[in-house]
Structure 1
Amino acid sequence: MKKRILMWAGGVLAFFLLLVVLLFAFRSRVLSYTINRVVAKVENKYPADFTIGSAEFASWNSVVLSDISFVPHQLDTLFVTDSVHATISVGSIFRGRIVFKRLEVANSYLTAVKKGDVTNFGFLFKDDASAAPKDTTSTGRNYGALLNRVIETAFDNVPDQVDFKNLNASYVSTNRTIDIRMPYLRMDDGNIASEVSIRTDSLVNRLLVQGTIDPDDYRIATSLYAADTNGIRLPYIKNKFDAQVAFDTLRLSLNDKTFRKDVLTVRGAATVDNLMLNHPKLADEDIQVKASAVDYVVKLGPNLFEIDSLTEVRVNKARANVYAAYQNETSKIIDLKVSTKQVPANNFFGSLPAGLFENLEGIKANGWLQYKLGFHVNMDSLDYLVFNSDLDASKDFKIVEWGNTNLQKINGSFSHTVYEYGKPVRTFTVGPANAFYSPIHEISPYLRNAILTAEDAGFYSHNGFHEEAFRQAIIKNLEEGEFARGGSTISMQLVKNVFLTRKKTVARKVEEAIIVWLMENQDLVSKNRMFEVYLNIIEWGPDVYGAKDASRFYFGKQPSELNLAEAIFLTSIIPSPKRYRSSFDSYGNLRSHKAGYYRMIGGMMRRRGLVSQEEYENLYPNVRLYGRARDLIVTAQDTTAVDEESSQYELETIDLLDF
């Protein structure tokens, strides 16, 4: 038995030695055959000439290719390189697919050119007409499977060693130029190092790249550092998105990937140092984030994109777990969940990005905070949309030092400035020193109750937020495909007017919510005082602010003297005070479309016991104008067209808050 095993082993060894001898003897022919097959395959697939000037062995497993070019037919040259020196896997030659062990490339130029509608690279992305059409109607495209193939192909072809010198890539069109220069790119024993200069039109970024790679486990980690004090700036963001983005360092990693049951799961991390972001829809100023990071778990599959709940986002010292999913197998379904563990209040406020929330910068607090957000919508069933948002504080939570703004200033007299289009138009005192200031008890109950009925019926019972109103606003905005309705309570309107700009930015809305939460949940201001300030600062017409100013402007009387019809009229123009004239004809009579609003508000007030049945029955949708308002309105050009937009806005506002 042993003799047979030895004879078999000897035969195998002899056969292997014979293969080595044959390979060494015929290696040039085998290499030539393989090169010719590759060239033929490329030229059969693409309308281009693929040329390799020479190919020869420098050693028994080392190949030198020189004068390589790829030239599309009748178009500009796409790629050229002086030389490629490669150490290859011997076995790969027989398989007709060369696998490189070491790769040295010198003086390479990739030049993409676009002249009008003609490019020298577009043919590379066209579908193969000879391939059988794929049926994607039932399952859709699986981007997880596609990305998995890209990852595996890329990692399977990574050489053990790389030494690239003078690599260049450019894109040239009539209105854009991108030029990338890489003096060197080295990879040895899994370590990556490079220097890159990227010019996009007049913007130049100089980067240093360092990293590691482990092709066997599909792991890669890279760091991009700014090589100068200008930082790394993203080009074309300003032109395309009206935004600016810059940072000092970016670190990206892929730590693991699995592909099971048609679903790709990738895990990794990303960190950004000294991020600067500017966008007019986000905030008025540059947003500065000193340190931000994400540890991500992402899943891609048929009709599925999911950010797993294990994903953790960090902004400075604040951390949150995020879950997000988008499915479109039968209908579009979107889910979002955000949750934090208990975080020290100081860490929370200290982690708010600079430039994002001006009033909150510098706040110091004791105690702990915890936040949870839940959102679910099926775009085919918007009425079942789910939205909830909760910020909870520990019992010992307390503001110990105000930052830029003392939120308790509205407990006493303060100076208020009105802004329009970002510019101050009027400043006045909110307090007894102002002759037009009215304490809440000197304002007609009809006006107070009409405003509460129309704007925020639950003002005295909720904690600053009306989630159902906000949910309905989201539904309306999704139906309209634009921002058509807000869900603001009186508390939110007050904060917006007193502390914030009127610009509709994401930052303003978030800052508004935080300030409202602080005022309501920490009992910084009483409900009566909040409503009193609100009634004294809101706009009611041309340079008309506050209930006393409005009462005199329209009716020549004190706010305590307003009757029910006058109170409902003043309430009706709060959503759009600059359109006050549209409520009247040229004779000063209320237009007919106001009758529906009067019936709605009057009926709701009657049902809630705010007016008697007799008062409701005697309610007539008309008012008598006096003073400045009459001079402006009665002399205006007569037009009988109903302001449908204003009327619809009023009805939607009532419907939103009628609960």
Structure 2
Amino acid sequence: MKNKIFIWVGGVLAFFVLLFVLLFAFRSRLLNYTIERVIGKVEARYPVDFKIGNAEFVDWNSVVLSDISLVPLKKDTLFTTDSVHATVGFRSLFKGRIVFRRLEVNDSYLTAVKKGDETNYDFLLKKDEKAPQPKDTTATGRNYGQLLNRLIETAFDNVPDQVDFKNLNASYTSTNRTIDVRMPYLLIDDGDIESEVYMRTDSLVNNLLVKGTIDPGDYNISASLYTADTAGIRLPYVQQKLDAKVAFDTLHVSLEDKKFRNDKLTVRGKAMVNNLVLNHPKVAAEDVHVAEGAVDYVVTLGPNLYVIDSLTEVRVNKAKANLYASYQNETSKIIDLKVKTEQVPGNDFFNSLPSGLFENLEGIQAEGWLQYDLKFHVNMDSLEQVVFDSDLDASEDFKIVQWGNTNIEKINSSFTHTMFEYGKPIRTFTVGPANPFYAPISQISPYLRNAILTAEDAGFYNHNGFHEEAFRQAIIKNLKEGEFARGGSTISMQLVKNVFLTRQKTIARKVEEAIIVWMIENLDLVSKNRLFEVYLNIIEWGPDVYGAKDASRFYFGKQPSELNLAEAIFLTSIIPSPKRYRSSFDSAGNLRSWKSGYYRMIGGIMRRRGLISQEEYENLYPNVRLYGRARDLIVTAPDTSMVEEDTSQFELETIDMLDF
């Protein structure tokens, strides 16, 4: 019995030895057969000429492929490589495909060329007509989720266990763009990645060191990019396309998971950047520095759908916020944005603000905590339904314990104020009793105070610095007109803009304005009367005319306490565009007829709110008499005062015919 067993085992061993000998003898034929099948599949799928000059085994399972090229038909060569040394899995050979376990590639060149509308790579981006297709989305546009999923799977499914690339080169050339990427080496060993990258985009050069890990089976990759010189890592195209500069020292990015279901791709991962420098004229006037920024992202792409999931967390230094954003345009364009933070210690909030972004807030020290919540929704087909809610809450013990660059409470007493025009200082004056043109609020006509409140901010004494409905209406108007046509600013916001901020229209300025207004109003740093008094003494009312007292004397030769209703409404009417004050008058110094509509509107509102009597409203006439410097600048026609006196009675008799 034992002899039979030994004989059977010996027979099996002999069979495997024979099979091994046969495989060794016919392996070259099997390799060539497999390569022919691969070439055939590639050329059947794509319009290319794919060549492998020579292929041979150098040991039991290692092959050398040489003189490899991929040339699109009637187009420039896309890819060439001198030689490929690879360890091949025999199981993959039997399946008619090559799966490399170890890959050594020397002197490779990927050359993408675009000439007009023609390229030598567009065939790679076209949909595979023979592959199973998801439901048709061509009628509504390209599904970028599907495209990205295909690219991810193709890349990960072809990653060997070990890679050793030497002199890997890639380039892109078009009529207005040149990109060159050179990698002296790229190593992947048991999931560890290491490389050095030289990248030139037109005249911009980056030298990078790359380290990371990869797990192809789980579609997981993590990479860190480090600058190899003092210039930092700078993003190409940004300066030319966006008029911006972006640079950083280190970037860490990862893809941790991806799922493709129901035509939607969801990817999860992380990114972190160190020493980020951003410069864009619409963001801030100076370079913005972020010591450390990070994001844990969950993003979904699908047909007509782009979503940043609410699980996404954004961190700027120590301050964190959850972000949700979506854009869908299947039937109409719908935009949603939500931002929510947990309770953030006051010091962490102010210390986390990027330097160069909010000059007045830098250096502030605070106690207590802050929490922010924003909700925004707009359907471009029903703009009237815009939703905008913005809330910054603070703990009861929140307070500023030390000011930084700017003491916001300076407006509680006399201070020096400088007016700027086109970024240049044009006049500096004291806001306080030391200035002969300063007028306490009690010495300013109630007509002017109430007319300004009616036109500029009727809820000034009731709101906390913001009028969300006015801001919502401003958003609606701006979206309808496709440009910034209305601001929705309150008097508090206008005051902060004039006293603390530049006139540059940047995102940073608007955010800084909102934060300062919130502090003033919610921390009771300045009383409402004081805010209004300062506002009335610094706003522009004409050529080098600032404040109610200066304006009253410039236009009417009187004190601000002596202004009548018609004069007050005129001064209110030119606040939005004080430099265009002349356009309100004809050459004789009379208010133009189109001003009557404004008088009718403001006077009517003041009457309904009980700010003027019915008699005052009925006697309101849309005209004023100019004196002093304003008359010298405005009136160019001959003196017709006698004619005006003769017709004044007729005008008074017909005033009740005007529909005010």
TM over 0.5: yes
2:189 maps to what in 1?
A: 188
Partner Cα separation in structure 1 for residue 174 and residue 132 of structure 2: 34
Distance 2:14 2:366 in 1: 81
Q: Match of 1:256?
A: 257
Paired AA for residue 636 in structure 2: T
Once the two structures are TM-superposed, the CA of residue 175 in structure 1 deviates from its matched residue by 4.0
Q: Structure 1 CA distance, aligned partners of 2:323 and 2:384?
A: 25
The 3-state SS of whatever aligns with 2:58 is strand
Determine the C-alpha separation between the residues in 1 that align with 2:563 and 2:556: 8
Say whether residues 1:571 and 2:538 are aligned partners.
no
Q: Aligned partners of 1:628, 1:448: CA distance in 2, in Å? A: 23
Alignment gaps of 5+ in structure 1: 1-6, 638-659
CA distance in structure 2 between the aligned counterparts of 1:465 and 1:452, rounded to whole angstroms: 14
Aligned residue in 2 for 1:585:
586
Match of 2:51 in 1: 51
Matches within 5 A, 1:111-150: 111-115=111-115, 119-122=119-122, 124-125=124-125, 135-136=136-137, 141-150=142-151
Contact in 1 for aligned 2:566/2:624 (Cα 8 Å): yes
- Does 16-25 or 435-444 show the bigger shift? 16-25
Please list the CA deviations of residues 526-563 of structure 1 after superposition, one character each: whole Å capped at 9, or x if unmatched: 10010011011111111111111111111111111111
d(CA) in 1 for partners of 2:83, 2:637: 83
The alpha-carbon deviation at position 254 of structure 1 amounts to: 1.2
Distance 2:204 2:313 in 1: 33
Contact 2:137/2:143, CA 8 A, preserved across alignment = no
Give the secondary structure class of the aligned counterpart of 1:604: helix
Distance 1:259 1:170, change over 3 A: closer
Instruction: Summarize deviations over 1:5-30 as a string: whole Å, max 9, x none.
Output: xx999999999887766544433223
What does residue 60 of structure 2 align with? 60
> How far apart, CA to CA, are the structure 1 residues paired with 2:124 and 2:38?
16
Indicate how the Cα distance of structure 1 residues 9 and 393 shifts in structure 2: closer, same or farther if over 3 A, else same.
Answer: farther
The equivalent of 1:454 in structure 2 is 455
Given the alignment of the two structures, is residue 464 of structure 1 paired with residue 472 of structure 2, yes or no? no
Helix, strand or coil at the partner of 2:631: helix
- Residues 10 and 340 of structure 1, relative CA distance in 2, 3 Å threshold: farther
Say yes or no: does 1:363 pair with 2:370: no
Question: 1:486 and 2:487 equivalent?
Answer: yes
> Does 220-229 or 85-94 show the bigger shift?
85-94
After superposition, residues 482-631 of structure 1 pair within 5 angstroms as 482-631=483-632
For the structure 1 residues 100 and 302, does the alpha-carbon distance in structure 2 shift closer, same or farther, using more than 3 Å as the test? same
Distance verdict in 2 for CA 1:504–1:233, change over 3 Å: same
Q: Which residue type is aligned with residue 227 of structure 1?
A: A
Distance 2:79 2:153 in 1: 25
Match of 1:172 in 2: 173
1:561-611, CA deviations, whole angstroms, 9 ceiling, x for partnerless residues? 111111111111111111111111222111111111111100000000000
Preserved CA contact (<8 Å) 2:328 2:334: yes
Deviation, 1:201, is: 2.8
Following the alignment from structure 1 to structure 2, what is the Cα–Cα distance between the partners of residues 583 and 18?
A: 106
SS in structure 1 at match of 2:64: strand
Matched residue SS, 1:309 = strand
C-alpha distance after superposition, 1:246-278 (max 9, x if no partner): 000000011122334443322211000000000
Deviations 1:220-256 (A, max 9, x none): 1100001112111112211111100000000001112
Distance 1:12-1:382 versus aligned 2 partners, 3 A rule: farther
Deviation at 1:305, TM superposition (A): 2.0
* 1:594-645: CA deviation from partner (whole Å, max 9, x where unpaired): 11111110000000000000000111111111122122222289xxxxxxxx
Cα 1:421–1:636 shift into 2, 3 Å: farther
Q: Partner letter of residue 67 of structure 2?
A: D
Partner of 1:4: none
1:376 Cα deviation (Å)? 1.3
* Matching residue of 1:108: 108
- Deviation of the 1:121 alpha carbon: 3.8
1:336 aligns with 2:349: no
Seen in structure 2, the aligned counterparts of structure 1 residues 147 and 439 have a Cα distance that, compared at 3 Å, is same
Q: CA contact under 8 A between 2:221 and 2:254: conserved in structure 1?
A: yes
Residues 150-549 of structure 1 correspond to what in structure 2 (within 5 A)? Answer: 150-549=151-550
Question: Per the alignment, in what secondary structure is the counterpart of residue 460 of structure 1?
Answer: coil
Measure, in 1, the Cα distance between the counterparts of 2:201 and 2:149: 31
Deviation at 1:146, TM superposition (A): 3.2
Paired with 1:633 and 1:9, the residues of 2 have a C-alpha distance of 117
Match of residue 71 from structure 1: 71
Root-mean-square deviation (CA, aligned residues, Å) is 2.6
Give the Cα separation in 2 of the matches to 1:305 and 1:15.
59
C-alpha displacement of 1:353: 0.2
Partner amino acid for 2:383? L
User: Equivalents in 2 of 1:424, 1:399: separation in Å?
Assistant: 30
**Judging changes above 3 Å, is the alpha-carbon distance between structure 1 residues 188 and 636 closer, same or farther for their aligned structure 2 residues?**
farther
**In the alignment, what sits opposite 2:653?**
none
2:213 corresponds to which letter in structure 1?
Answer: T
Q: Measure the CA separation in 2 of the matches of 1:603 and 1:10.
A: 112
Contact 2:224/2:252 (8 A) holds in 1: yes
Q: 1:184 to 1:414 in 2, by over 3 A?
A: same
- 1:406-429: CA deviation from partner (whole Å, max 9, x where unpaired): 001111111111111111111111
Task: Give the Cα–Cα distance (whole angstroms) in 2 for the partners of residues 106 and 157 of structure 1.
Answer: 18
Identity of aligned residues (%): 80
Instruction: Give the alignment's TM-score, normalised by structure 2.
Output: 0.91
Pairwise CA distance, 1:179? 1.7
Change (3 A) 1:154 1:124: closer
Structure 1 distance, partners of 2:49, 2:501, is: 64
Q: How far is the alpha carbon of 1:208 from its aligned partner?
A: 0.6
Question: 1:128 Cα deviation (Å)?
Answer: 7.3
Evaluate the alpha carbon distance shift between residue 501 and residue 15 of structure 1 in structure 2; reply closer, same or farther with a 3 A threshold. Answer: farther
Residue deviations 1:401-460 (CA, integer Å, cap 9, x gap) = 100000011111111111111111111111111111111111110000000000000000
CA distance in 2, matches of 1:91, 1:501: 70
Residue 506 of structure 1 and its aligned partner are, at CA, apart by: 0.2
The reply on whether 1:34 has 2:47 as its aligned counterpart is no
Q: Which amino acid aligns with 1:443?
A: I
Moved more, 107-116 or 288-297: 107-116
State the partner residue of 1:85: 85
